[in-house]
């Protein structure tokens, strides 16, 4: 299947869905009050960007996402390294980490708002609790899965503890960590938006929540569309970084290419 | 080959035993490798050949007995030894050049010098021009060459080899064996080469040691190989002297192989 054909079919499907929606509303099959209309939603988004009022919200959500993502990843990776290389600490902390990770994070949002206020901090904290565990578990797993032969080889070649960390453990865990980053970005956004949704004065989640409060479905859908595009762009950015850092990894089916 | 007989052996195992939980892999092993000697250890699968190497490398200390390296009792990792593993042991995230330069950079050699010497070694194993390839972009034989250069650049006095060529096809394998002999003849390191392939053992070594089938395996035969050097591993296999040694060793090894299979 060649790429262009897939793209064409995707485009056709999109057009079909959007037109189907638009005409279902126009022909009165579904109620515009509940479903709005693609044309109106597009117009609303256009107005938002034209007036510039959406930039403030986008900026806030982006800041929260980036802060939660970086802090959660850094602390999670450091924690994962520590526990993977120190079996005693891992054995002691294991039940605590499992218990913490089993707490549904949405429950924490009101507490974080109480602790950190209505501003950015409470959203970052919520995103952090989501991202931390993803980064932590993946780092931990990545370190545990280091090939024992590669490890023994590096030791025989004279690697000290720090050199093992830098040249063996971290690069080996890197593929796990990096492939978890895309999931992490998604969760950082969820943390930010859910936090805004439950109590904030700015951000995309706030915009959607406000619109729902006055039954403005057009703005709700417009907010969802902007949010979706925002997440896709972040995802693309992370994949670019991932591909840059993992040049050494074989593409599927490329193993032992040259003879 | 003439060798001083009174010198300290490079490697000496004294009544060495290794256990894994309840399982005794090797028991009461005495073995010596003289300086500059090429010793091959053959035995049926599961006879603890790799266990021997890991003890000499210091990766897993013996449960009982003593490992001596140039007369000194071994503690911790064996810093005089280079280890060529059976499985792929290259760092997949480093290029061929980065892999070969690794040991030097661990030792604190300046990057430029380490890379210059690594280039030299890659050329020496016939991989000039492949410096920037990652391991997955190389064939199995090429990866073995890189691994060989990675070990030899550190100039170890002792070379431990664990069925290093067993995953290669026959032609590549014989090429690599000749390559190994050529490199070995340059500076005559002490080599302990573990294999299950008797022909490979005889073609390469000065002496072939036969291990009994596991568990609790130990050396049961010791056969000097007085074939002339330099050898070509492909041609030497066809000589009468080779066949004679082969018959002799196989007589002993055969029983152990049968025993190992009977237990499996």
Nearest CA in chain A to B96: A248
Per-residue pLDDT band for A251 (boundaries 50, 70, 90) equals low
Over residues A86-100, the mean pLDDT reads: 89
Residue A22 lies in a domain: no
Residue A28 lies in a domain: no
Which residues of B are less than 8 Å from A158 in CB distance?
Answer: 79, 103, 106-107, 154
Residue-number span of the structural domain to which A213 is assigned: 36-245
ipTM of the assembly?
0.88
* The residue to which tokens 């054995």 are assigned: A91
Residue A14 lies in a domain: no
State the maximum Cα–Cα separation within chain B, in Å, rounded to a whole number. 56
Alpha-carbon distance B127 to B147, whole Å?
Answer: 12
Which residues of B are less than 8 Å from A167 in CB distance?
Answer: 91, 94, 102
* CATH code of the domain containing A116: 1.10.3720.10
Alpha-carbon distance A30 to A24, whole Å?
Answer: 6
Does B122 score more than 80 pLDDT?
Answer: yes
Of residues B234 and B6, more confidently modeled: B234
For residue B213, give the DSSP letter: P
pLDDT tens track for B90-104: 999 999 999 999 999
Q: Give the rounded distance of the alpha carbon of B230 from its chain centre.
A: 19
Over residues B159-166, the mean pLDDT reads: 91
Cα-based distances in Å from B185 to A26, A229, B182: 88, 66, 5
Which residues of A are less than 8 Å from B148 in CB distance?
Answer: none
Over residues B258-262, the mean pLDDT reads: 81
**Residue B175, φ and ψ in degrees, nearest 5:** -60, -45
Per-residue pLDDT band for B259 (boundaries 50, 70, 90) equals confident
- Angle between helical axes of A217-245 and A53-85 (0-180°, round to 10): 40
Over residues A57-72, the mean pLDDT reads: 93
Domain residue spans in chain B?
11-80+156-263
Count of the separate structural domains present in chain A: 1
CATH topology assigned to domain B11-80+156-263 = Rossmann fold (3.40.50)
Asked if B260 and B47 touch (Cβ cutoff 8 Å), the reply is: yes
pLDDT tens track for A210-227: 898 888 999 999 999 998
Does A3 score more than 90 pLDDT?
Answer: no
Residue A10 lies in a domain: no
Over residues B173-187, the mean pLDDT reads: 89
Identity of the residue in B83, B106, B142 whose CB atom sits nearest the CB atom of A163: B106
Binary contact (A156, B138; C-beta < 8 A): no
Residue A27 lies in a domain: no
Instruction: Provide the pLDDT for residue A258.
Output: 39
Per-residue pLDDT band for B170 (boundaries 50, 70, 90) equals confident
Nearest CA in chain B to A170: B93
């Amino acid at each position: 299947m060649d790429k262009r054909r897939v793209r064409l079919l995707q485009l056709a499907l999109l057009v079909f869905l959007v037109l189907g929606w638009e005409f279902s509303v126009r022909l009165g099959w579904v109620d515009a009050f509940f479903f709005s209309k693609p044309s109106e939603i597009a117009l609303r988004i256009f107005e938002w960007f034209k007036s510039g009022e959406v930039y403030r919200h986008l900026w806030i959500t982006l800041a929260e996402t980036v802060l939660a993502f970086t802090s959660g990843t850094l602390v999670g990776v450091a924690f994962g390294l520590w526990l993977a290389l120190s079996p005693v600490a891992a054995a002691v902390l294991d039940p605590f980490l499992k218990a913490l990770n089993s707490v549904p994070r949405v429950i924490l949002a009101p507490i974080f708002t109480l602790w950190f206020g209505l501003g950015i901090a409470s959203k970052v904290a919520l995103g952090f609790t989501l991202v931390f565990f993803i980064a932590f578990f993946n780092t931990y797993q990545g370190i545990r899965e280091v090939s024992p032969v590669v490890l023994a080889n590096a030791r025989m070649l004279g690697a000290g503890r720090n050199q093992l960390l830098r040249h063996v453990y971290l690069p080996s865990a890197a593929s796990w960590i990096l492939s978890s980053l895309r999931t992490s970005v998604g969760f950082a956004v969820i943390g930010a938006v859910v936090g805004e949704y439950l109590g904030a004065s700015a951000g995309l989640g706030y915009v959607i929540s406000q619109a729902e409060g006055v039954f403005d479905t057009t703005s709700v859908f417009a907010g969802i569309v902007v949010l979706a595009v925002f997440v896709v762009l972040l995802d693309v950015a992370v994949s670019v970084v991932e591909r840059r850092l993992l040049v050494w990894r074989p593409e599927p089916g490329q193993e032992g290419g040259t003879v | 080959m003439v060798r001083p007989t009174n010198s300290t052996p490079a490697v000496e195992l004294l009544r060495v035993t290794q256990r894994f939980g309840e399982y005794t892999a090797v028991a009461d092993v005495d073995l010596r490798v003289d300086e500059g000697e090429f010793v091959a250890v053959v035995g049926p699968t599961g006879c603890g050949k790799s266990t021997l190497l890991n003890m000499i490398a210091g990766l897993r200390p013996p449960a009982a007995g003593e490992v001596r390296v140039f007369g000194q009792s071994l503690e911790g990792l064996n810093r005089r030894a280079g280890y060529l593993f059976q499985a792929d042991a290259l760092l997949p995230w480093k290029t061929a050049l980065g892999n070969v330069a690794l040991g030097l950079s661990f030792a604190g050699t300046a990057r430029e010098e380490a890379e210059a010497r690594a280039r030299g070694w890659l050329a020496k194993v016939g991989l000039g021009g492949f410096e920037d390839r990652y391991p997955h972009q190389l064939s199995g034989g090429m990866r073995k060459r890189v691994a060989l250069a990675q070990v030899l650049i550190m100039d170890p006095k002792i070379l431990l080899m664990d069925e290093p060529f067993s995953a290669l096809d026959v032609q590549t394998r014989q090429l690599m064996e000749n390559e190994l002999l050529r490199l070995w003849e340059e500076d005559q390191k002490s080599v302990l080469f573990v294999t299950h392939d008797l022909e490979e053992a005889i073609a390469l070594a000065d002496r072939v040691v036969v291990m009994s089938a596991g568990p609790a395996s130990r050396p049961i035969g010791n056969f000097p190989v007085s074939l002339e050097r330099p050898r070509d591993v492909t041609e030497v296999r066809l000589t009468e002297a080779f066949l004679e040694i082969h018959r002799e060793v196989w007589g002993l090894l055969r029983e152990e192989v049968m025993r190992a299979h009977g237990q499996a």
